[in-house]
Structure 1
Amino acid sequence: MNYLAHAYLSFHQPALITGNLIADYVKGRQQLALYPPDVQQGIRLHRAIDTFTDQHAVTAQAKTFFRPACGLYSGVFTDLVYDHFLATDSTRFSEDTLYDFSKEVYDVITGREEVLPERFLEMFAYMRQYNWLFNYRGNDGMERAFRGISARAKGLESSPAVIFAIFLEHYDALKDCYQAFFPALQTHVENLLQNETR
């Protein structure tokens, strides 16, 4: 999953939000141990979310739309598409509540900047400046996100315009994938958190 979903599945808990967002920048047990237990929980939760997502049959189906153009990066673009449909899911966000939630996440991270990985903070500066979490809602924001991923992807031959066109062409089918998948992911995460507090 991408940043919005990881933040959303932290259920407004600042330490979980922090761990969930920095997890890709924390490598191995030695780095994990640098963080308080509640942030470590968020890092582990991020990894559990990614594992569940990557192994789910619906995600495999969604990746097939991107694979001819993106190869191994099909999962990265699928994660981004899931964030778009989460951002536009009227059962979870209105435009106003998504804006407020995005600000909440930025404020949580900003309040802990001094202890977070430098490489994450470099990325986060762009996330906050361009309001990625909110702008996943619209096609302009998604197109910028597609360009950003394409620029960082080594060996990706298809242009971002081609990949974005795939997203638009298969929009309804990808939305169906999100709707079939995301409730199952949320239930999985809620069960994990419930079991950890027992």
Structure 2
Amino acid sequence: MNFLAHAYLSFNKPGILSGNMINDYVKGKKKFDYPLVIQKGMSLHREIDTFTDQHKMTVRAKQFFRPQYRLYAGAFVDVLYDHFLANDTREFSTEEALNSFCQLTYTSLQADVDLLPLKFQQVLPHMQLHNWLYNYRFKEGIEKSFIGLSRRAAYLSESAIAFAIFNEQYEELQNCYNEFFPELKQFAAETLNKLNNT
């Protein structure tokens, strides 16, 4: 999953949110440098990613991208899942509800900013200024995210084909999300409950 989903599946728990959002910026034993609640957020992130990667609907969604992008297929699927979440009226009843959630997320992360890894501290102002979380709602936002992914990845030279696949297979990918996300949300809630009881 990508930034919006990890934020949403932190269930409005500030320290959990920070850990969930920074996990990809923290390597190995560095995790233990953070307060326990942030460590739990990182653990939740990893459990979410494992569940997502192994889910049958994610496996199906990846098949559309794998011939062209091989191991990067999952990264593109993670981003497009955020698009479908941002447009999911079961989770965000209105655009205003989505934007309000996004603003609360930025505010919460800013409150912990001194604890966050330097690279994430550098990313956060751009995320907030350009309202990345909200803009996953739009296809243009997904296109920009795909371009950013191709720039950061060592073995990707373009993302235009991925964006074309996203548009061509939109309904099928939407169906994958629709079946997958309620199960992920339940799994994440149960996982967080277990982490909070340890």
Q: TM-score range by the shorter chain?
A: over 0.9
State the partner residue of 1:22. Answer: 22
Per-residue Cα deviation, 1:16-69 (whole angstroms, up to 9, x for no partner): 11000001111123x112111111110100000001111111111000011122
TM-score (norm. length: structure 1): 0.95
**C-alpha deviation, 1:131, in angstroms:** 0.8
RMSD in angstroms over aligned alpha carbons? 1.1
Q: Tell me how far 1:197 sits from its aligned partner.
A: 3.8
The within-5 A match list for 1:83-162 is 83-93=82-92, 94-157=94-157, 159-162=158-161
Q: CA deviation at 1:186?
A: 0.8
1:52-91 to structure 2, matched below 5 A, reads: 52-91=51-90
Q: Which runs of 5+ in 1 are unaligned?
A: none
Q: Which amino acid aligns with 2:113?
A: E
Q: Which stretches in structure 2 are left out of the alignment for 5+ residues? A: none
Shift of 1:138: 0.5
Matched-pair contact (CA < 8 Å) for 2:40–2:195: no
| 1:46 corresponds to 2:72 | no
What SS does the corresponding residue of 1:33 show, helix, strand or coil? helix
* Partners of 1:27 and 1:71 in 2: CA distance: 24
Residue 73 of structure 1 deviates from its aligned partner by 0.7
Identity %: 46
Does residue 1:174 correspond to 2:142, yes or no? no
* CA deviations over 1:109-159 (Å, ceiling 9, x no partner): 1111112100112222221121110000011111111111111122224x3
CA distance in 2 between partners of 1:162 and 1:32 (Å): 36
Give the match's secondary structure for 2:33.
Answer: coil
Q: 2: distance between equivalents of 1:118 and 1:10? A: 22
Contact 2:86–2:136 (CA under 8 A) maintained in structure 1: yes
Q: Which amino acid aligns with 2:133?
A: L
Opposite residue 129 of structure 1, the aligned amino acid is L
CA distance in 2, matches of 1:77, 1:122: 23
